[in-house]
Structure 1
Amino acid sequence: MVKKMIFLVMALLCSSMFMAAECTSYTKKGNQVIFNCKDGSKLSLTINSNAVVKIWYDKSGKLTRSNPSFAVVNDKLENMGEVTVNEETSAYEIFTSKLRIRINKNPMQLQIFDKYQKLIFSDFKDQGHVSDAKAVKAYKVLRNDEQFFGLGEKTGTLNRRGKNYKMWNSDKPCYSVTEDPIAKSIPFFMSSYRYGIFLDNTYKSEFKFGTESQDYYSFEAPDGAFVYYFIYGKDYKEIQQQYIALTGQPIMPPKWALGFAQSRGLYTKENQALEVAAEFRKRKIPIDIIYQDIGWTQNLQDFEWRKGNYTDPKGMLKKLKANGFKMIVSQDPVISKKDNKQYLEANKLGYFVKDVRTDKAYEMPWPWGGNCGVVDFTLPAVADWWGKYQQKPLDDGISGFWTDMGEPAWSNEEDTDRLNMKHHLGMHDEIHNVFGLTWDKVVKEQFEKRNPNKRIFQMTRSAYAGLQRYTFGWTNDSGNGNDVLDGWAQMENQVAVGISAGLGGIPFWTTDISGYCGEITDYPAMAELYTRWMQFGVFCPLSRAHHEGDNAVEPWMFGEVAEKNTKAAIELKYQLFPYLYTYSRKAHDTGLPITRGLFMEYPNDTEAAKIDNQFIFGEELLVAPVLKKGERVKRVYLPDGEWIDFNDKKTEYLGGQTVAYKAPLNTIPIFVKKASIIPMMPVMQYIHEKKDYPVFFHIFPNYEDEKTSFTLYEDEGENHDYLKDIFSKTNITCTTKAAGYDIEITPEDKGFRQSDKRNFVLSILTEQKPKSVLVNGKEITFLAVDALDIEKDTTKIQWSWDEKGSKLLIKIPDNRTKININVNN
């Protein structure tokens, strides 16, 4: 009898939990409409634009939240004026120029259609919003062909369908290829049905993409305001651009940040830094940055150079700078308790996160430094205090920080004691996922306050949606800690993790080249994995080699062949700098990633959506790094269109097929889309070592009577003038004619000019030597290839023919005037 009563009680609880709400009325104010339900709950719709709707469900009907959004900085995307609600017998409807939004009354059900009345997004039956003792949950209709991409830095396949994910920033060194969660939480995803969802909730939210049913997917949060944004777009790019409009534009890195960087867990010594830097220059391997890891400080985190390890840090930094190097040092968000006057100071000022049980500073066991106080970056007074400390090494001459272990470290799901931490803005279950974000915000704002008109370099491990406003990222401690030589699967999944990071609004990121984890005891055996990781890693917008402990991962450690091949890969990165920097500006303007999944550029190519281990770099280049041990022939899927082998600049492939591409250890499979122009520069030992370098425009012509074009972007590279639109652009357009080409170069200078004496060199892939070349109507001089003086002679206009490469070379001084070129075959 007792069991029967318990069953009846549980049944009643379940039935009330899933009891469908009935919508009975609405109120409105401006662009917000609040629908009132019979059970006291409310559903608020704010029409942020013709394509973006803020949805807020509250079981209590209060529609209040403890903190404003940490992520959204602009929800007034368009002036929508007063929203009109059409009431029908069974539903309410709101129309925008792009959407038809319908609220069915009984049971309440939200549905969104496009302007052609096609259903895009719908509550699942009467369970669109369900509240129980554990969470608020949203169930949405799942179509049998629907695919999902996003959620930021996550492992596994790019397509999230059929998988579950949690948002809980976690310290997971040597994470597996399916492990979840890891270090960043970005609750934003996109559907192949042309919409995106951003769940603006900082608690431990969960996403279940069809794992419970083939008929619905769901997302949920255990506490806090249940607010999410519906974002409609004609394609993935438009959806992501609107997400960035909500959460803020990515900052641009200083130009040198796009060069190569070298790091190691025990890079913590002055002599070592100078020796490593000198060795790179001696071997002529391009590099811009040397890192210093956590042990550089005397105490965590007093920003004092460790005694004994550094005798003259200012002198060290001066020598590095003179040789073209920048130094980046680590920050941790804690202060060690033992023998540290900074701890006493912070504790006295009340700057630590409190333990709710004692109302004293929470003691955090830390991997280094013993017990620590956790700095409360949500407390406004902390910002200036922290800024004064971090300015000390900046005044010495360092160039930026990497903010490490901002989960904070060891605060994973199993570490429930951390939930006793009380921050100024709330308990830890609310603040956990934004702890790193609030830290990065302080670091950036204080840097800019004390170093005016200078771009910050800050690279972070743990953060939340909106981090692009403050910082860049790296994909955490990857690799195989059990067997460093067996890290191939981890390296391969780094491609998808990085692409996914870009989808979360992190266009500037790097993998740890070599993988962070694992003891390297056999360097010759590691050489192939290191080479292939480098060949992938140079196409990360930021490129850093890094490994744990004292495991050296400089290129020469792995033998002559590996050094030769990795040096060539790094040199290619430097040559592509003008292309990469142009897309860096586009990333700032639009939020679109630089490293893109094939599905983003080719949304209608069903095969492209299945590819996790290739990417589009910018828009014109496809990179398919070799990611398997012993592989010398790479199977490469080429999307719709026509593709040219970027390595030989000649061989053409028809897209829509998988090709077998020979890729020995010295080869990276790279393809350029037909009808493209790729700007490049000569190899330099560091970015812009030479100010007056020539720019090579590699032109892959279109078909007859069709054009190809590219607009090169340049600016000063280290200040904030780009925010004032002080830059220069050079547009180059090539039209293919029946008997040659017409080329137009159009400069646009807005307060900046890269050089007064440099050349443009046009390299045109063509099968026959032209009869003549005219510039602004005048025939120009022909020279043999080896007679062209490209770097020193910036006065003469000349052309040549490279018979071996089947290409035409035209050298033109960049005088910042409009130029017309006619090539006659």
Structure 2
Amino acid sequence: MINIYDNYIEKKYDNELLRIDAWGKDSFRVRSFADRKFHDNNFALLDREENSKNKIEVLNQSGEEITIRNGKIKAVIDHRDRITFYDNEGKILLREYIRLRAVKHDDGAEDVGTVEFTKDFNSTLKLKSREFKANYGGAFETTTRFESDPNEKIFGMGQYQHEFLNLKNTKLELAQRNSQMSIPFYMSSLNYGFLWNNPGIGEVTFAKNITEWYMKSTKSIDYWITTGDNLKEISKNYADVTGKVPLMPKKLLGLWQSKLRYRTPEEVLEVVKEYDEKGIQLSTIAIDYFHWPKQGEYRFDNDFWPEPEKLISELKEKYDVEPIISIWPTVQSDAENYNDYLEGGYLINVNRGVRLTMLIQGTTVFLDTTNPEAREYVWNRIKDNYKKIGIDYYWVDVAEPGYAVYDFDNYRYDSGQALETANLYPNGFLKMVYDGMNEKDHSVVTLVRGAWAGAQKYGALGWSGDIDSSFEAFNNQVNTGLNVGIAGLPWWTTDIGGFHGGNPKDPEFRELIIRWFQYSVFSPILRMHGDRLPHSAPLSNSGGGSMPTGAPNEIWSFGKEVEEILVKYLHVREKIKDYIYKLMEEAHKDGLPLMRTLFYEFPDDKKAWEVENTYLFGEDMLVAPIMNYQHRERDVYLPGDQVWVNIYTNTEYEGGRTYKVEAPLQEIPVFIKKSSVHKFKELLKFVNESFN
């Protein structure tokens, strides 16, 4: 039985309720409920009111089969109860899987795919495209299957620490971990975008023969699919239904200075004064973890930060530097206000054993950020102890949350079992800061170590997490950052030089700092951070003073040669700041990433779909990072029917070809479209005077 309404249809058969909504421009949302029990949770999607103008157009209906359209996308439910999605020209975008199909190629060979179907195979597999298995807890283990085109390319899905740009033939965990941000939205070379709108723990397999989304425990299958004339339209459609980033303040586009960790106001001011004397305007300086006496108190430790309001005032008024304060979602059992958390029910619970979720500085548990009352309680403390003294920007660390053991089946949130809702956790913390700071004259920007779909609307600035300080780790970051942008999170950054380790006196690490810094200049946010070696002794035996600090991590900490190169690139950053701000305006208005794959701007260039570790910064600038020790040249493919200009030599190159480009230590290959050279006159003048 199929019921048709203005903006959705419902089909009921046996124990399933299937619902397809027109949800946004050229898009459908598909939900399947076992036992016909409808649950109205939007998860990553904005409320229905935002998309009420989109209507279902019924093109054809015959018995249990129906064809519907919403703008440029069409969906067909056939007699097998399978859904197939088509574009405006009738090309298949995606089809649910129930059996293999044959494709005839020009050479007469048969292969499995979804391009042009010539016949069905008889199948006794008895597989369902939407499969539910009861887990006896009111929820279900589910598997959702789609046919796979072996030649399809898949991009996005957030941050995973591997080297792959094209995610076809990978298997990804749908969970937050330190250095892993699961943002389950991808774009396909077949010209569609797909959001897995389920915040539970699971995995996706993009295999050659099948695509499978598996959930351990959920009450529904929920996904959203869109298409458009190009990938930019798909980005816009996604941002329209999940939310757009605020407008990044221009003053935050300079250098963010951080280390593990500044322990006193004197240490902070010493660094800021040194930058000021060198004529370098910092954007922010970070006051990192354990500036507090106990986790969960959300206040400065008076023993080491006796008058924080004076420090904040001096940073902002004298040096025009924004302090950014680390806040963790952890609570120590011996915190002064621990009983408040217990009385309010503000903590994550466990299904078995003792409630203990992390051990650092004491016995700690995690705040339940999915609980609105818990968010209100914590924000009131942050407001009283940080916001009221002038702190406008926050660094939400350990926001996955960073469990000591990732036994997701053992954790229980206000929003439900962690297996069903765990990916909502970082978004809850982000929402707390956003709701508290979202004022007419302030744009919320929150540095965060975890993010799920929709996090961008809360001002999420994701970063690479606690990765290794090595060229091997650096090799993973360029493609990873591109996939984060495609997944709908325009703001992303890395710890320059990586986080774990790195001795400022080591020649290889010094070169790593140079290469990583050069790359980061052409990224949304330029951020120095890391746990450098060797550590210094703690200041005391108690409170925040008991924690060590890493070696210096300022631009002058790595020797004179390194400093001279980094200073040059700081000037490069200043020369392109207006350009970056325009990209930030595009991200705010349309949801476009700042760092873009070559095919994002040049989809008709077949070679552009194969190029990795090279990207466009906006539409006018191409960057090819140097990611290996002692490399002094690299191959660079310049896409499209364009002429490209090398910013160091002013040499012109025809697009559509690969060139071997020199890259001495003070240079990484950067090219500008010849047609856009007029936008970069100051940059080119500076480079010509300073690098040659």
Shorter-chain TM-score range: 0.7 to 0.9
Partner of 2:475: 492
SS at structure 1 position matched to 2:51: coil
Cross-structure match for 1:433: 423
Cross-structure match for 1:531 = 514
1:397 aligned onto 2:382: no
Q: 1:102 aligns with which of 69, 72, 76?
A: 76
> Which structure 2 residues correspond to residues 361-440 of structure 1 after superposition, within 5 A?
363-391=355-383, 392-410=385-403, 415-416=406-407, 419-440=409-430
2-side partners of 1:139 and 1:678: how far apart?
50
| SS of equivalent residue, structure 1 residue 661 | strand
Quick check: 1:61 aligned with 2:36?
A: yes
In 2: Cα distance, 1:325 partner to 1:97 partner = 48
Seen in structure 2, the aligned counterparts of structure 1 residues 296 and 643 have a Cα distance that, compared at 3 Å, is farther
Matches within 5 A, 1:295-694: 295-321=290-316, 322-338=318-334, 340-356=335-351, 363-391=355-383, 392-410=385-403, 415-416=406-407, 419-448=409-438, 453-480=441-468, 484=469, 487-520=470-503, 522-548=505-531, 549-648=549-648, 650-677=650-677, 679=679
Question: Structure 1 residues 71 and 372 mapped into 2: Cα distance closer, same or farther (>3 Å)?
Answer: farther
Instruction: Tell me if the contact between 1:300 and 1:332 (Cα under 8 Å) persists in the aligned partners.
Output: yes
Shift of 1:439: 1.1
Q: Distance in 2 between matches of 1:89 and 1:337?
A: 62
Partner of 2:224: 229
What's the CA shift for 1:357? 5.2
Cα distance in structure 2, aligned partners of 1:95 and 1:517: 51
Aligned position for 2:143 = 137
Q: Which whole-Å deviations, capped at 9, do the CAs of 1:593-612 have from their partners, x for residues lacking one?
A: 00111121112222222222
| Contact 2:201 2:421 survives alignment (8 Å) | no
Distance 1:333 1:31, change over 3 A: same
Where does residue 151 of structure 1 map in the other structure? 157
Call closer, same or farther: CA 1:309–1:452 in 2, change over 3 Å: farther
Shift of 1:647: 2.0
Moved over 6 A (4+): none
Change (3 A) 1:356 1:68: farther
Q: Which has the larger radius of gyration?
A: 1
1:486-544 Cα shifts (integer Å, max 9, x gaps): x1121121111111111222212210001001242633342111100100111221111
Aligned residue for 1:437, secondary structure, equals: helix
What secondary structure, in the 3-state scheme, does the structure 1 residue paired with 2:629 have? coil
Q: Which residue of the partner structure matches residue 220 of structure 1? A: 214
* Secondary structure at 1:463 match in 2: coil
Shift of the alpha carbon at 1:49?
A: 4.6
**Match of 2:90, SS?**
coil
In 1, the alpha carbon distance for the partners of 2:458 and 2:486 equals 17
Question: Equivalent pairs: percent with the same residue?
Answer: 25
Shift of 1:678: 5.5
Where does residue 112 of structure 1 map in the other structure? 85
Give the direction of change, closer, same or farther, for the CA distance of 1:678–1:289 in structure 2 (3 Å limit). Answer: farther
Distance (Å, rounded) in 1 between the aligned partners of 2:683 and 2:565: 23
Provide the residue aligned with 2:189 in structure 1.
Answer: 192
Alignment partner of 2:667: what SS? coil
Deviation for aligned residue 1:75:
7.1
In structure 1, how many angstroms separate the alpha carbons of the residues matched to 2:418 and 2:301?
A: 32
Q: Output the TM-score relative to the length of structure 1.
A: 0.73
Give distance in 1, aligned partners of 2:625 and 2:678: 19
For structure 2, the residue ranges without an aligned partner over 5 or more in a row are 100-127, 135-139, 532-548
Distance change >3 Å, CA 528–CA 273, structure 1 → 2: same
How far off is 1:159 after superposition?
A: 0.6
C-alpha change, 1:674 and 1:590, in structure 2 (3 Å) is same
Q: Kindly provide the amino acid, as one letter, of the partner of residue 474 in structure 1.
A: G
What CA deviation, in whole Å up to 9, does each residue of 1:660-680 have, x standing for no partner? 111111112110112115646
Partner amino acid, structure 2, of 1:101: A
Residue type matched to 1:121 in 2? L
Question: What code does the residue aligned with 2:191 have?
Answer: R
Distance 1:57 1:200, change over 3 A: same
Partner-residue secondary structure (3-state), 2:213: strand
Give the counterpart letter for 2:211 in structure 1.
Y
Q: In 2 relative to 1, CA 678–627 (structure 1 residues): closer, same or farther, beyond 3 Å? A: farther
* CA deviations over 1:780-813 (Å, ceiling 9, x no partner): xxxxxxxxxxxxxxxxxxxxxx9x99xxxxxxxx
Please say if residues 154 and 501 of structure 1, whose CA atoms lie closer than 8 Å, have aligned partners that are also in contact: no
1:84 aligns with 2:90: no
Structure 2 residue matching 1:152: 3-state secondary structure: strand
Once the two structures are overlaid, the 10-residue window that deviates more, 645-654 or 149-158, is: 645-654
Matched residue type, 1:128: S
Q: Which amino acid aligns with 2:53?
A: N
Q: TM-score when scaled to structure 2?
A: 0.86
Q: Secondary structure at the match of 2:10?
A: strand
Contact 2:24 2:241 in 1 (8 A): no
Paired residues of 2:575 and 2:682 also in contact (CA < 8 A): no
Q: Could you tell me how far 1:472 is from its partner in structure 2? A: 2.6
Query: Conserved in 2, the CA contact under 8 Å of 1:75 and 1:246?
Result: no
Distance 1:95 1:196 in 2: 16
Q: Is the 8 A contact 1:602 1:608 kept in 2?
A: yes
**Any conservation in 2 of the 1:140–1:217 contact (CA below 8 Å)?**
yes
Distance 2:49 2:160 in 1: 26
Mapped contact 1:444–1:470 kept (Cα < 8 A): yes
Between 470-479 and 490-499, the greater mean CA deviation after superposition? 470-479
SS at match of 2:356: strand
Counterparts in 2 of 1:82 and 1:169: CA distance versus 1, 3 Å: closer
> Per-residue CA shift, 1:17-44, capped at 9, x if unaligned?
xxxxxxxx3112222111222x332321
Report the Cα distance in structure 2 between the residues aligned to 1:566 and 1:643, rounded to whole angstroms. Answer: 29
Asked if the contact 2:177–2:400 (Cα under 8 Å) also holds between the matched residues in 1, the reply is yes
Superposed CA offset, 1:676-732 (max 9, x none): 15646xxxxxxxxxxxxxxx6789xxxxxxxxxxxxxxxxxxxxxxxxxxxxxxxxx
Shift of 1:158: 1.3
Give 1:354 deviation, angstroms. Answer: 3.2
Equivalent pair of 1:285/1:571 in contact (CA under 8 Å): no
How many corresponding residue pairs? 635
Between the aligned partners of 1:28 and 1:472, the Cα distance in structure 2 is 38
Q: CA deviation at 1:195?
A: 0.9
> Given the superposition, is the C-alpha separation of residues 292 and 404 from structure 1 closer, same or farther in structure 2, using an over 3 Å criterion?
same
Question: Aligned residue for 1:204?
Answer: 201
2 CA distance for matches of 1:90 and 1:336?
58
Offset at residue 651 of structure 1 (A): 0.9
Q: How far 1:333 moved relative to its partner?
A: 0.8
Deviation digits for residues 265-307 of structure 1 (CA, Å, limit 9, x no counterpart):
1223211111111111223344221111112112213232223
Query: Structure 1 counterpart of 2:89, which letter?
Result: Y
| Matched AA of 2:458 | Y
**1:430 to partner: Cα distance:** 2.3
SS of corresponding position for 1:124? coil
Which AA in structure 2 matches 1:369? Q
Per-residue CA distance 1:180-233 (angstroms, 9 max, x = gap): xx2x221111111111111110111321111xxx33222232223211011112
Q: Is the 8 A contact 2:647 2:672 kept in 1?
A: no
Contact residue 451 and residue 462 of structure 2 kept, 8 A: no
2:210 and 2:411 map into 1 onto residues whose CA distance is: 36
The answer to whether residue 7 in structure 2 is matched with residue 31 in structure 1 is: yes
Hey, what's the Cα distance between the residues in 2 that align with 1:45 and 1:474? Answer: 32
Instruction: Write the letter of the residue equivalent to 2:20.
Output: L
Letter in 1 for 2:95: S
**1:551 Cα offset (Å):** 2.8
SS at match of 1:446: helix
Structure-2 separation of matches of 1:50 and 1:400: 34
Hey, what does 1:772 align to over in structure 2?
A: none
Q: Contact 2:34 / 2:219 at 8 angstroms: preserved in 1?
A: no
Q: How large is the RMSD of aligned CA atoms in angstroms?
A: 2.5
In 2: Cα distance, 1:163 partner to 1:379 partner: 34
